[in-house]
Amino acid sequence: MNTIFNEVKTIIRKYAFDKTVVDKATENSKIIADLKINSARVVDIVLDIEEKYSIDIDDKSLEKIITIKDAMNIISDKTK
Amino acid sequence: MNYIGNDILFKQTIETTFARTKAIMHVLTENEIYLMHFLDTKIACSLAWTIKESIYKIACKEGHNLPFVPKYIFIKDINFTGEGAYRGTAIFKNQIFSFQSEITNKYIFSYAFKQHENLDQITHYWFPNNPEIHSSMKNTELVNFLISKKWELCYSVNGIPQIKNQLNQMDISITHDHDFLVLSKLKHE
């Protein structure tokens, strides 16, 4: 899970205005509220995750993604 | 209070994020793809995003606290009203919202409101934006404008921006992307 955490952070970092905030992020960091990610960039983050892990993130899964840990859980569920 | 929602996408975002092949799958339903077939795919995707994000902002002000899922908001109808302008209605959580949108060669901007008859009563203030400054309160032009109007910008506990005046609080919506920041409010408030 630590690897997935770092990989997700790397993806998010690409789209963050303030990369230092992402560098200090924990699993419980909220992607939009804490990491100050512009909502449109969430589209890029979701697409990058789908491409990297060869998964499809459906709307029900999207609705659950608030924190980095939520994204990690979705990835784990879909790559089992 | 009658809440307003707005959203803007700058051309760079349209040409990158919403030009990605699979972006449309996360933003538009099949019916909406048909509804907006007359538009280029990335334009339709971007337009739908701004419409839905505007509506989502209103819903959040009314207490909705789940993440934004574009395909849970359904654009019911959309009509071209001339000079890059579009108007229509959309449904979210069994409620109807009216929206107005503008497509230019630099941006796509939308705003939404529940009371259709008041859609034309919403006014917009445009400011240059520095994309490296994420906080609206660090936008010098915006701050100077607020001072000139004697408006005090405040945020509710769940992050909703409002303007305090002597009598009451006015709802506003703020959006920014790359070069633009827009503040929308009801004219008569």
Q: How many CB atoms lie within 10 A of CB A11?
A: 19
Q: Does A34 touch chain B (CB under 8 A)?
A: no
d(CA A76, CA B17): 25
Say if the Cβ atoms of A33 and B159 lie within 8 Å. Answer: yes
Cβ pair B67:A39 closer than 8 A: no
pLDDT at A70 (0 to 100): 96
Number of Cβ pairs closer than 8 Å across A and B?
49
CB atoms closer than 10 angstroms to residue B79: 9
Chain-chain contact of B72 with A59 (C-beta, under 8 angstroms): yes
HEC sequence for A13-70: HHCCCCHHHHHCCCCCCECCCCCCCCHHHHHHHHHHHHHHHCCCCCHHHHCCCCEHHH
Mutation pick from A34, A43, A74 vs chain B, by most beta carbons of B within 10 Å, is: A43
Averaged pLDDT score across all residues of chain B: 89
ipTM of the complex model: 0.92
Q: What is the pLDDT of residue B40?
A: 95
Q: Which chain A residues have a beta carbon less than 8 Å from that of B67?
A: 62-66
Of the spans A63-77, B146-160, B164-178, which averages the highest pLDDT?
A63-77
Minimal C-alpha gap between A11 and chain B (Å)? 14
Q: pLDDT tens string for chain A (80 positions)? A: 679 999 999 999 999 988 999 999 999 999 988 898 888 999 999 999 999 999 999 999 999 999 999 999 999 999 98
- B177–A38: do the CB atoms touch at under 8 Å? yes
Q: Using the beta-carbon criterion (under 8 Å), do A62 and B26 form an inter-chain contact?
A: yes
Rounded to the nearest 5°, which phi and psi values hold at B36?
Answer: -115, 30
When mean pLDDT is compared across B77-81, B86-90, B135-139, B164-168, the lowest value belongs to: B164-168
Cα–Cα dist B124/B165, whole Å: 18
Average pLDDT over residues B4-27: 95
Residue B140 reports pLDDT greater than 60: yes
**Does A62 touch chain B if contact means CB atoms closer than 8 Å?**
yes
Q: Do A63 and B67 touch (CB under 8 A)?
A: yes
